Structure 1
Amino acid sequence: MATPLILKTSLFSTRHIHHLHRYYPFSAILFFSTTSHKPPKLRSLKSIKMEGGNEITEEAKENVNQQQQKKKIFVAGATGSTGKRIVEQLLAKGFEVKAGVRDLDKAKTSLSENNPSLQIVKADVTAGSEKLVQAIGDDSEAVICATGFRPSWDLFAPWKVDNFGTVNLVEACRKLGVNRFILISSILVNGASMGQILNPAYIFLNIFGLTLVAKLQAENYIRKSGINYTIIRPGGLRNEPPSGNLVMESEDTLYEGTISRDLVAEVAVEALRLPESSYKVVEIVSRADAPKRTYKDLFGSIKQR
């Protein structure tokens, strides 16, 4: 650390101070006034520079503006039924959003291009991490993954999207230094270990290429990545508005129940705000008889594993 340089302000002009600043950091130069009869009062060069000429003041303002500039939240699968709701809620709560989509034409009809806080970019999670690095960019501070394969005869589709696609997103985050990742997964992904292998929902969801198994493998990859994650496992997804109150449990607890996509989106957005959601896997459904609780309380009740 540089040795503090003590200067009498009566002997130096602002021009001299500005010249000295080229060689000494703010924290290393201290001043006291000799024109007062009171005991010397230490003041930093930064405060004096702020009181100086217009050039210094404008520079300080620019630094403040850069610090206050909001970074974006990248949403993968932004035109999906849940992803679109996440985008809408992020925008409604004042976030800047970068919507990652596979089909730009579809995005233009389903997302509001007129919102200055929304940027739409092409992002195919199956295309590899390098292309995702370009899509996410260095102006994104968090990634929310709301992707999901479309049912087809391609039995590898769940693995391409829900497994390899999610892994590609995680790798892109690691390359960019993005340290916040939120995944929308599903209850029953670990149904075999829960003794739910004969559960009709577990059987049905695995018919199309072992979808739940693919999701579980992606979850495990995230947990080992070192990135600050929140994995959200919702029950059966409904398009209707929310009804009842949110139930949040720890992993491998819920094996039935439904929840509105709107409420899932809300949980994802709240996870961004609350440190209590960090490094946790939560399972969520809604029930009419459940007590109403705050998100801080809900996330705080879930223990890390």
Structure 2
Amino acid sequence: MASVVTARPHLPRALALPSTARKLLFRCSAASTMDAPSASSDGSEKKTTTVFVAGSTGRTGKRVVEKLLAKGFGVVAGTTDVDRARGSLPQDSNLQLVRADVTEGADKLVEAVRGVDAVICATGFRRSFDPFAPWKVDNFGTVNLVEACRKAGVTRFILISSILVNGAAMGQLLNPAYIVLNLLGLTLVAKLQAENHIRKSGINYTIVRPGGLTDQPPTGNIVMEPEDTLYSGSISREQVAEVAVEALLCPEEASFKVVEIVARADAPNRPLKDMFAAIKQN
């Protein structure tokens, strides 16, 4: 797989070890750099937690990349168009650009994710005349990425999905949002199938289901609820990215959970760590 590096993040020797010899050392209150055995005599070297972002040039994925970099993570930005990514993503010494197309199969994705500590999947199909596009990206594409992680030994996976994916079981078949989104190639059904695969994969996951996505700055505080609870509402992509990144920083509170999020002007401003902790583990 071809890759283009604009600025290579620090990738320590520990990442070259077999997956069984590596550990994710995320801590909620810690910064995103962690102490590691140093090759230097002064012991000053740090291990940078590195995250692969699928869909990095999308409107949500770009915000995920920016928030990860702001917190000091190393980022491997997966993209189908490296030139586009180079022009739209930040210039940062902790950012690496890699060509990665989730629709091309798990084997081609393995090298893109090999050596990273976690994956955030922010992919989404682009509207086209292909009626199978939602399934190619939102179902099979996500499954390919999960399987690539399993082959490469990556054990932490964050998926950005959508509320109402399980609308049929929630009695929301006549919900206008459920109807409209499924008119585009049964998009929500495709997303639900991908979620089900993740939950059976054995990978430590957090599935984030946002309401309707807006490109505007946040206008309210985040509300987080258990799965199959919310059937309306919207939220800024900025806040969705914030929740996805926070899921990495709070593994004890966020692991093996499906959460649904919207923003409301009258909601209290609560720490995301506390919100994750309040959701019952699946």
Give the TM-score, by structure 2 length.
Answer: 0.84
Question: Which residue of structure 2 lines up, in the alignment, with residue 68 of structure 1?
Answer: 46
The sequence identity of aligned pairs, in percent, is 68
User: Is residue 102 of structure 1 aligned with residue 77 of structure 2?
Assistant: no
Cα offset for 1:196?
Answer: 0.3
Q: Distance in 2 between matches of 1:293 and 1:175?
A: 37
Quickly say closer, same or farther: Cα 1:65–1:151, change in 2 above 3 A. Answer: farther
Q: In structure 2, how many angstroms separate the alpha carbons of the residues matched to 1:66 and 1:220? A: 43
1:175 to 151, 155, 158: 151
Amino acid at match of 2:82: L
For 2:258, which of 281, 291, 302 is the aligned residue? 281
Output one character per residue of 1:118-167: Cα deviation in whole Å (capped at 9) or x when no partner: 001000000111111111122x0000000000111211100000000000
Q: Distance in 2 between matches of 1:293 and 1:89?
A: 19
Equivalent position of 2:219 in the other structure: 243
CA distance in 1, matches of 2:44, 2:103: 34
Q: 1:296, CA displacement in angstroms?
A: 1.4
How far off its partner does 1:65 sit? 6.0
Corresponding position: 1:127 with 2:127: no
Aligned-residue offset at 1:70: 1.0
The residue type paired with residue 124 of structure 1 is D
CA drift at 1:295: 1.1
Q: Give the Cα separation in 2 of the matches to 1:154 and 1:293.
A: 42
The alignment status of 1:232 with 2:208, answered yes or no, reads yes
**RMSD after superposition:** 1.6
Unaligned runs of 5+ in 2: 1-36
Identify unmatched segments of 5+ residues in structure 1.
Answer: 1-58
The verdict on how the C-alpha distance between 1:62 and 1:261 changes in structure 2, with shifts beyond 3 A counting, is: same
SS in 2 for 1:201: helix
1:258 aligns with 2:195: no
Q: Which has the higher helix share?
A: 1
Q: 1:118 maps to what in 2?
A: 95
Q: When the two structures are superposed, what TM-score results if normalisation uses the length of structure 1?
A: 0.78
2:63 is aligned to: 85
Partner SS state of residue 96, structure 2: strand
> Does the residue aligned with 1:120 lie in a helix, a strand or coil?
strand
Tell me, in whole angstroms, the C-alpha distance in 1 between the residues paired with 2:122 and 2:222.
19
Query: CA 1:251 to 1:60, structure 2 compared with 1: closer, same or farther past 3 Å?
Result: closer
